Amino acid sequence: MREILRRSSSFNDMRAVVRRRLLDALAMVRWWMILAAMAATVGSLCAAFLWSLDAATKTRFDHPWLLFLLPVGGFAVGWLYHRFGASVEGGNNLIVDEIHAPNAGVPARMAPLIVLGTLVTHLFGGSAGREGTAVQLGGSLAATFGRLLGLDPPGIRILLMAGIAAGFGAVFGTPVAGAVFALEVLALGRIEYGALAPCLLAAVVGDWVCQAWGIHHGDYRIDYLAGPAKALVVEPVLLAKVALAGVAFGLAALVFAEANHRLSGLFKRFVPYGPLRPFVGGLAVIGLVYAVGTRDYLGLGVSAAGPDGLTIASFFGPDVHPWSWALKILFTVVTLSAGFKGGEVTPLFFIGAALGNAVAGGLGAPLDLFAALGFVAVFAGAANTPLACTLMGIELFGATHGVYIATACVMAYLASGHHGIYLSQRIAVAKSAGAAFADGTTLREARRSPVPAARSSPPEGERPAP
């Protein structure tokens, strides 16, 4: 009798286990369907956005006089945000804040406003990027999906991270980097592994769908191979030069981020009416064009109006361009701090490739290799995402120079300090042993306090703030 009861109990336990696994599998399938649908939508909208962006850029090339409408276009976009977009003015930082501490949510209006604002910026010649638009598209659509499906706050949090991954992966054609970026960008020194699978799925689907619409990304090549016999080895001397260049990339990232934040503060202080700030900024950009005598530093920097114009590809050789990185910083900081929309990342690619070119010329290093290293490492220092940028470098340029790519990205991350383009990032682990910050400190708070606060320990049994 006991044997019969024991077997019956074991059978019931097994049935319970199978039932739980079946329910888990059904829940996972439901999540995969939600994520795939959301990512496919983000990928499609990113494709439409990239096509529109290319059309706007070509229109500006064909009609150079459009530059003189930059102040007017800036005023119009500023007025739209002033009138309808006060709740989404935070942009990428709003999405990061919502992931950390859900509040009012990410409004659906963020998507059309950022797309329109970015297209106006590029049509008339502002120096800006496209990553901000992709991330905000992904975040806005993810939040909308979450609300329509009635997801709870933890579910919406996962969906927001997946939306960032889908947008980033689609707009740059780097799904692995997009997935890791969405996990790494939230806090310095910590990765949200709990959302790894959803973010990877979303990034891959977003990239696939974007490419299925016929969107193609830029192709950059590194022809240099190390060693006298062109073997795939790591040269100690070259590695030391890469580490030194990585410090320069990190300092450039710090200068870019701080210049952008400080000039933005000055604009807000001296031009209190929001729509007027991009108007003044547009006039400043026009003045810069005539001061330097070229339009090469307008727009994304991935294409030029003529064959002699500077683009990101120009810095892969054969010529050295010593100061192009500094001029691109100047044009981009003026554009973005005045309130024009777009993003920082593609200009950071230009700045990094140009600085890599200049550093390589000074150190006698391979131009194409160092341009590629700067391409990803300046972004790593500015966004505090060394792992995502290392993976981006491998996805874009191949794994041949993976050690050099990782070295440049890590050194740039360390050299940029507790600064960055996303002020809502939390500091989970300080970059140096001598710095200590209270749990949950944001980069915004760290900038305001020159002396870090002592790290506090949460009460026993209480989870630290994310």
Q: Give the β-pairing of 426-427 and 187-188.
A: parallel
How far apart CA 277 and CA 340 sit, in angstroms, is 9
For residue 382, pLDDT beyond 90: yes
Mean pLDDT of 55-84: 95
Lowest mean pLDDT, pick from 193-197, 249-253, 285-289: 193-197
Q: Is 334 in contact with 285 (CB distance < 8 Å)?
A: yes
How far apart CA 90 and CA 339 sit, in angstroms, is 11
- pLDDT, mean over the chain: 88
Task: Give pLDDT, residue 416.
Answer: 96
Between 435 and 274, where is the model more confident? 274
- Residue 144: both structure tokens together: 């909308």
- The continuous run of DSSP H or E covering 439 comes out as none
For residue 462, pLDDT beyond 60: no
Over the stretch 415-427, which tens digit does the pLDDT of each residue have? 999 999 999 999 9
How far apart CA 24 and CA 175 sit, in angstroms, is 26
Between 85 and 247, where is the model more confident? 247
Mean pLDDT of 176-194: 92
Mean pLDDT of 342-369: 95
Task: Give pLDDT, residue 460.
Answer: 35
For residue 252, pLDDT beyond 50: yes
How far apart CA 369 and CA 266 sit, in angstroms, is 38
Place of tokens 């320069």: 248
For residue 433, pLDDT beyond 70: yes
Q: Is 131 in contact with 344 (CB distance < 8 Å)?
A: yes
Task: Give pLDDT, residue 5.
Answer: 45
- Residue 101: both structure tokens together: 């501490």
What's 120's DSSP letter?
H
Q: What are the distances in angstroms from CA 209 to CA 119, 136, 159, 202, 335?
A: 22, 18, 18, 11, 31
What is the radius of gyration, based on Cα positions, of the chain? 23
Task: Give pLDDT, residue 221.
Answer: 83
- Residue 380: both structure tokens together: 């790593």
Task: Give pLDDT, residue 98.
Answer: 83
For residue 387, pLDDT beyond 70: yes
- Residue 50: both structure tokens together: 């990239």
Task: Give pLDDT, residue 456.
Answer: 42
Q: Is 147 in contact with 346 (CB distance < 8 Å)?
A: no
Report which of 159, 77, 52 is spatially closest to residue 341, judged by C-alpha positions.
77
What's 227's DSSP letter?
S
Q: What are the distances in angstroms from CA 249 to CA 242, 275, 353?
A: 10, 34, 10
What share of the chain in percent tops pLDDT 90?
Answer: 63
Mean pLDDT of 261-270: 95
For residue 446, pLDDT beyond 90: no
Which SS3 state, helix, strand or coil, does residue 442 take?
strand
Q: Is 81 in contact with 250 (CB distance < 8 Å)?
A: no
How many other C-beta atoms can be found within 10 angstroms of the C-beta atom of residue 330? Answer: 18
Task: Give pLDDT, residue 454.
Answer: 47
For residue 105, pLDDT beyond 50: yes
Q: Is 74 in contact with 339 (CB distance < 8 Å)?
A: yes
Which SS3 state, helix, strand or coil, does residue 427 take?
strand
Q: What angle do CA 393, 397, 398 make, to 5 degrees?
A: 95
Lowest mean pLDDT, pick from 139-143, 173-177, 316-320: 139-143
How far apart CA 437 and CA 13 sit, in angstroms, is 48
Q: What is the largest CA-CA distance in the chain?
A: 97
- Residue 195: both structure tokens together: 């959302």
For residue 20, pLDDT beyond 90: no
For residue 303, pLDDT beyond 60: yes
For residue 452, pLDDT beyond 60: no
The string of DSSP codes covering 138-199 is: HHHHHHHHHHHTT--HHHHHHHHHHHHHHHHHHHHT-HHHHHHHHHHTTEETB--GGGHHHH
Which SS3 state, helix, strand or coil, does residue 34 take?
helix
